[in-house]
C-alpha cells in the first residue's frame, strides 16, 4: 500500500484487528521512508456498484464519499464512531444486496436518510436538508415537524 504522505510503496503493517463487529479488518500502517502512519480498512465487496445521478451521469459508487457526507451530518453528535461505521457498512450491504449493479443516487439518499433517522434525528435533518435541497423554509419546517417523535400526553 502506497504511503499517502510521501508516495513510498513499501509500507509496513504494524497492527491488524477486526473492526465494525468483524465486518472489516483495520490495519495500522507505518511508512519507514517518512515516518508517516495511516490506517486502512479491508472489507468484503460483494459487487461493483454504479451510481446513476439525477442528471443521468454514471459514476462508480464511492464508499468514502458516502462516508464523508454521513460524517458531516453526524458532526458533534453524541454517536460512537464505531456505530457510524456499522451504519455505513449496513447501508453498503443493503445497496449490494439489491440485485442491481446500477443504483439511482435517489435510492442511496433514501436509504441513508432511513438509517440516519433510526440513529439520530439531528443528523437526519441535516442530511435531509442538504439532500432534498429544500427551497422554501416553510417546507423545511413542515419536514422537521414530521420528524418529531411522538410526545407523551402533556409532554
Ligand atoms: Zn511515507
* pTM (global) more than 0.75: no
pLDDT tens profile 52-91:
887 888 988 988 888 888 888 888 999 998 899 899 999 9
Beta pairing partners, 31? 11
89 Cα: distance to centroid of ligand 1 (angstroms): 29
CA of 38 to the centre of ligand 1 (A): 10
pLDDT greater than 70 at residue 51: yes
84 to each of 34, 68, 81, how far by Cα in Å? 31, 11, 5
Residue 2 has φ and ψ, to the nearest 5°, of -70, 140
Residue 141, pLDDT score: 54
What spacing in Å lies between the alpha carbon of 146 and ligand 1's midpoint? 50
Quote the ligand 1 centre to 4 CA distance (angstroms).
Answer: 7
Average pLDDT over residues 100-127: 89
How many separate helices (H) and strands (E) can be counted in the chain? 5, 6
CA 49 to chain centre: 15
Amino acid at each position: 500500500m502506497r504511503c499517502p504522505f510521501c508516495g513510498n510503496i513499501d509500507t509496513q503493517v504494524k497492527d491488524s484487528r477486526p473492526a465494525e463487529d468483524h465486518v472489516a479488518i483495520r490495519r495500522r500502517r507505518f511508512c519507514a521512508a517518512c515516518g508517516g502512519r495511516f490506517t486502512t480498512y479491508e472489507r468484503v465487496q460483494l459487487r461493483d456498484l454504479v451510481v446513476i445521478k439525477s442528471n443521468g451521469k454514471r459514476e462508480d459508487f464511492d464508499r468514502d464519499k458516502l462516508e464523508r457526507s454521513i460524517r458531516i451530518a453526524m458532526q458533534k453528535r453524541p454517536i460512537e464512531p464505531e456505530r457510524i461505521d456499522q451504519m455505513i457498512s449496513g447501508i453498503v450491504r443493503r445497496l449490494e444486496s439489491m440485485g442491481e449493479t446500477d443504483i439511482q443516487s435517489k435510492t442511496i439518499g433514501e436509504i441513508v436518510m432511513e438509517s440516519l433517522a433510526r440513529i439520530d434525528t439531528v443528523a437526519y435533518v441535516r442530511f435531509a436538508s442538504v439532500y432534498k435541497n429544500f427551497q422554501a423554509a416553510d417546507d423545511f419546517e413542515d419536514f422537521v415537524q414530521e420528524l418529531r417523535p411522538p410526545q407523551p400526553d402533556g409532554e
